[in-house]
Amino acid sequence: MRAASLTCFVLLLLAACAAPPQQAAAPAPCAQQGLASWYTREPGQTRMADGEPVDPAALTAAHRSLPFGTRVRVTDLSTGRSVVVRITDRGPTARNRIIDLSAAAARALDMRHDGVARVRVELLAGSTASPGAAAGTRACLLPKVTPS
């Protein structure tokens, strides 16, 4: 009987010393940080790369890799202002930029005077670029965070 009690005591002690169960790590946010600029279309350029007509008042943007129609939230990291835009064009052409915003989107962020702002671009759930969003998972199609 004594050996059984000692065995139970040792097992109980080992169980008490065991590491607590680890919680699942939160999924990494589907976002990218870097520089944004804004652009206007040249006279005579009547269509965006996705084929839709140019609309200077539209909240749109150009991104190198996101599919057309993808919706992203762009947040100015210095002011906290944000705007939701739809990807309709390709760009930016400047290598150190991650997104080019329409004049209307730049106005919403109040960055038209400076021309460039440090931003965070977040892929929105349900966007065309996140095919698993309906199932509760998101495939992040944004490149890794760009150092500044």
How far is residue 31's CA from residue 77's CA, in Å, rounded to a whole number? 13
Share of the chain above pLDDT 70, in %: 64
Q: What is the mean pLDDT of residues 127-134?
A: 49
Q: Which of the four pLDDT bands, split at 50, 70 and 90, describes residue 136? A: very low
Q: What is the mean pLDDT of residues 94-102?
A: 94
Domain 31-135 grouped into CATH 3.40.50.170 = no
- Which of 2-6, 10-14, 55-59 has the least mean pLDDT? 10-14
Between these two residues, 22 and 52, which has the higher pLDDT value? 52
DSSP 16-50: HHSPPPPPPPPPPP-EEEEEEEE--PPTT--B-TT
Q: What tens digit of pLDDT does each residue of 99-123 get?
A: 999 999 999 999 988 999 999 999 9
Per-residue pLDDT for 26 more than 70?
Answer: no
Q: What tens digit of pLDDT does each residue of 41-89 get?
A: 765 678 899 999 888 789 999 999 999 999 999 999 999 999 999 999 9
The residue extents of the domains of the chain are 31-135
Cβ 59 vs Cβ 108: under 8 Å: yes
Calculate the average pLDDT of the chain.
79
